[in-house]
A and B are shown apart, each in its own frame.
Chain A
Amino acid sequence: VQLVESGGGLVEPGGSLRLSCAASGFTFSNAWMNWVRQAPGKGLEWVGRIKSKGDGGTTDYAAPVKARFTISRDDSKNTFYLQMNSLKTEDTAVYYCTTLLHWGQGTLVTVSS
């Protein structure tokens, strides 16, 4: 199993960024996929999840990101995404994609002016 995040970087407050997670080594279309983040020196924080299309394909989000972040998936590409809008300095963190059985290595998002 391999999960590879990309798309992190430096963005100004109020800006947008899209993270991608490319998956391999398992049946991606059947998997519920999650984003979990970790602010510098802090613990893990669940960001949100998308269910498999077979289970409805619905999304759920943690309260701090609801209405600003959107998770989507493209099963034809074995990839899922995190669209982050209206970014705040407190969104600065390493973002991990995870099935919660396996984890990616993370991508750093820094929100700063």
Chain B
Amino acid sequence: SYELTQPPSVSVSPGQTARITCSGDALPKKYAYWHQQKSGQAPVLVIYEDSKRPSGIPERFSGSTSGTMATLTISGAQMEDEADYYCHSTDSSDKVLLGGGTKLTVL
């Protein structure tokens, strides 16, 4: 069965580039999406269809894919970007796949 795998944690200093990966066999055929969840809040979509940014999401957030891996890049990470990040995609029958989440620490 398809799964999406993320690293449990990523840590960067303010102003550095943070990269969060998501790997899975579904990704070459299906779009990747990224959601940000700050502590105590509902998730918010930050990237859709691999690399598109919803309105209101800062330009420092970008997405890319290559083969079985999708990457969320935060260029010049800020303290306010500290959150859990989840990737999602779908399998061949359109069931939703969710990654386990990555805790981004900016310190």
Contacts and interface: CB of A to CB of B under 8 A. Distances in A.
Contacts of A98: 43
Interface string B73-106: 0000000000010101000011111101100000
A67 interface: no
A103 B98 CA distance: 15
B101 A104 contact: no
Sorting the interface of chain B by its residue count into under 10, 10 to 19, 20 to 34 or 35 or more gives 20 to 34
Interface in B34-80: 35, 37, 42-45, 48, 54
B95 A49 contact: yes
B8 to A, nearest CB: 10
Interface SS of chain B: helix, strand, loop or mixed? strand
Contacts of A104: 42
Contacts of A96: 42-43
Contacts of B96: 34, 36, 46, 49, 100
A83 to B, nearest CB: 19
Interface of A: 34, 36, 43-46, 49, 51, 60, 62, 96, 98, 100-106
